Chain A
Amino acid sequence: MKLLIIEDEQSLLKSIVQYFNQEKFLCETAVSYEDGIRKIEDFQYDCIILDINLPGGSGLQLLKYLRQNKNKDGVIIISARDSLDDRITGLDIGADDYLTKPFHLSELNARVRALIRRKKAEGASILETGVLKVDLSSRTVVSAGQNMPLSKIEYDLLLFLMTNKNRVVSRQAIAEHIYDGPSEQVPSSDFVYSHIKNLKRKLKERGCHEMIQTIYGLGYKLTP
């Protein structure tokens, strides 16, 4: 799958590229407005990750140009500006998602994959990892043919870990992902522990031992 990352901050760009390369994505990069336009015209991408503040023009302008040319590539805006207005403007112009800096790469990964899934499957879709099968439209999980009832938080948690499978996901990233209040008010990530514990217990009951590993005090990793 092919990604275009338009971001002028070299260091951040490098991180994103490295992360998605590890996820077996093909990554193209652009560091300015003109650069971005050229890359858009040359190829088709499964997803474009777009910064708003770019040298040579705004990411929103670029997005407008893209949509005017009937380009249907998925676009995720990443921006340091976090106001409802910015968000609405971005989504109005035709962005598929909006992520505020600073974000966790695992979160960006989850968003990119969700977007690609939506674009490809057009509705019903099943996510499979090992013995786990998640029906995304009905939000149900089946483990080795057995139904596994989960709470909303546990479902979100499992899906997030599955999307980032074989990777260590930090507690903070999980906390931000599953908390649905104002982003300034994410409570301390301590609460993640008890939900992981519940999820682990339920997985164990269905025969999925050690599927979720605790990585020291850092975070968690799901291996199929």
Chain B
Amino acid sequence: MSKTLQQKNTRYLLIWLPLVLLTGTVLFYLLMSAHAGHMAEEQLELKQENIRNAFLANPDTLPRSIAGEYDLLAGGSVPAGLLHKQRDTTVYYPSNKRWVAFRILTEPYTIRGRNYQLTTYISSKEITHLIIKVFIAEVFVFILLLVAIVIINRKSSGLLWRPFNDTLKKVTDYDIVDNESLALSTETGIREFDQLNQVVATLIGNVNQAYRNQKQFVENASHELQTPLAIIRSKLDLLINTPQLTEETAGLLADITEANDRLSQMNKNLLLLTKIDNHQFPGQTSIDLSGAVEKLLANYQHFYDGELPLVWKSIQTGISVTANASLLEVLLNNLINNAFVHNIPHGYVTVSLSPHALIIENTGHPIAGGTDQLFERFKKGREQSKTTGLGLSLVQRICSIYHYRLVYTHMQNIHRVTWVFSQP
């Protein structure tokens, strides 16, 4: 799963930073210990020097041993292998009945012809304590460092990426149908983002231009098509009135007339779609939806006179919606028309209008494949030669203009369209 840049960054920091800090801690400990050892050695050597000097000055009065300070022994019992280097030992203090850790160094001397071994002591307790205390302090500092780095990193990356997020939001909100150019700052203070914004703005500009061109093309093409369509239609009207029409030619003419008619319808629908895209239906009025739906259904029953699927309706009265009257008529017409046209023999249509939604349900053939493409231009649920394939995309365009929600579901052979025209 994808994570945000910040989460990713924090994750890397949290994985690697503790590792680095841990290594640092170990290194620090080793260094500290080494330094402490070195310091102890110097202290021990200094003591050796002092005591040797003191012994040379007062060989008789100087005590031969002070617990925890030194032992000066004639001859010597320390094996040669342990000489000249630090060793650890413990000394028992009877007064407080405790063993105390010491660091000792034994050096052999020959003074006035006699052999001595001088062992000096320094307590290692303080050094160990110091190391522990410094170590704890260091761990605290490192944790503080870790937290601070993560926080600063999060804050600064938030700031750094702000122009990027602004751009991302604008691009996300961009709708090609509105055909507006994107106002992206090219002075974000970060060169990469300036570049990005410039590139995105140019890209969107090109896309808008291409979209406008395409729209213009469809519009022009549809307009230009009207005249040849009118010519074909007029010639057909003349042809069907020629005497001595045989059944065979009549059949051909009927097919041509039908196809030409469908072409005209399609062209008109395309023009309408272009007009909707061009926002050429600006005016809005409050429309009595209940009345409009009732009238449409009555019209249908009127026109189809007996061959109609059964109609069940439950229409609440007094429900209105604010929209352009022509567009709403197109929308209702298409929704209801679909329910009738894509029906099956002895099927039914139910229409229910509530204060927020119009639900139209009809029997029909099951739809093969997904329903996502149903609203695309020229997509047909089945081989329906008598439809233009533009009806539902008209409906969808109108819905997107007014931010209506349109939900299509089907189960087996029951199709249901829910048009939500206001928020409950």
A168 cross-chain contacts in B, Cβ below 8 A: 240-241, 245
Q: A34 an interface residue at 8 Å Cβ cutoff? A: no
Contacts of B272 in A (CB 8 A): 184
CB distance from B376 to the nearest CB of A (A): 18
Of the listed stretches B69-77, B157-165, B251-259, B351-359, chain A binds B251-259
> Which B residue sits closest to A186, measured CB to CB?
B265
Residues in B with CB closer than 8 Å to A151 are 302
The answer to whether B237 and A185 have CB atoms under 8 Å apart is: no
Q: Which residues of A contact B229 (CB under 8 A)?
A: 101-102
Tally of A-B Cβ pairs under 8 angstroms: 127
Q: In this complex, what residue of A is CB-closest to B224?
A: A80
> Are A216 and B305 within 8 A (Cβ)?
no
Q: Is the CB of B257 within 8 A of A18?
A: no
Q: Is the CB of A191 within 8 A of B230?
A: no
Segment among A9-17, A110-118, A126-134, A204-212 that sits at the interface with chain B: A9-17
A184 close to B341 (CB less than 8 A): no
Partner of A218, one of B240, B306, B341: B240
Bound complex: CA A169 to CA B307 (Å)? 23
Residues in B neighbouring A173, C-beta threshold 8 A: 237
Closest Cβ–Cβ distance, residue A41 to chain B (whole Å): 28
Cβ-based interface call for B250 (8 A): yes
- A57 an interface residue at 8 Å Cβ cutoff? no
Do the beta carbons of B226 and A84 come within 8 Å of each other?
no
In the complex, A183 Cα to B275 Cα: how many Å? 15
CB distance from B213 to the nearest CB of A (A): 21
Give which listed residue, A105, A153, A198, A218, contacts B234 with CB less than 8 A: A105
Given contacts A16-B234, A18-B238, A168-B240, contact A184 B268 (CB under 8 A): yes
At the interface, yes or no: B110 with Cβ under 8 Å from chain A? Answer: no
- The residue on A at minimum CB distance from B269 is A184
Which residue on chain B has the smallest CB distance to residue A184?
A: B268
Closest partner residue, chain B, to A192 (CB atom): B303
In the complex, identify which listed stretch (B26-34, B35-43, B51-59, B330-338) lies at the interface while the others stay far away. B330-338
Q: Does A104 reach chain B (CB closer than 8 Å)? A: yes
Nearest CB of B to A155, in Å:
13
Residues of chain A contacted by B234 (CB below 8 angstroms): 12, 15-16, 19, 102, 104-105
Which among A9, A105, A180, A187 is the interface contact of B337 at CB below 8 angstroms?
A187
Taken together as a complex, chains A and B put the C-alpha atoms of A218 and B280 apart, in Å, by 37
B240 and A191: CB pair below 8 A? no
Measured between alpha carbons, how far is A186 from B268 in the docked complex, in Å? Answer: 11
What is the bound-complex CA distance between A82 and B307, given in angstroms? 32
Interface residue? A170 (CB, 8 A): yes
Most chain B Cβ neighbours within 10 Å, of A80, A184, A219: A184
**Chain A to chain B contacts (Cβ below 8 Å), 5 pairs:** A168-B245, A182-B326, A183-B268, A191-B303, A217-B254
A-B interface, 4 closest residue pairs, ranked by CB to CB distance from nearest: A15-B234, A216-B250, A102-B230, A80-B226
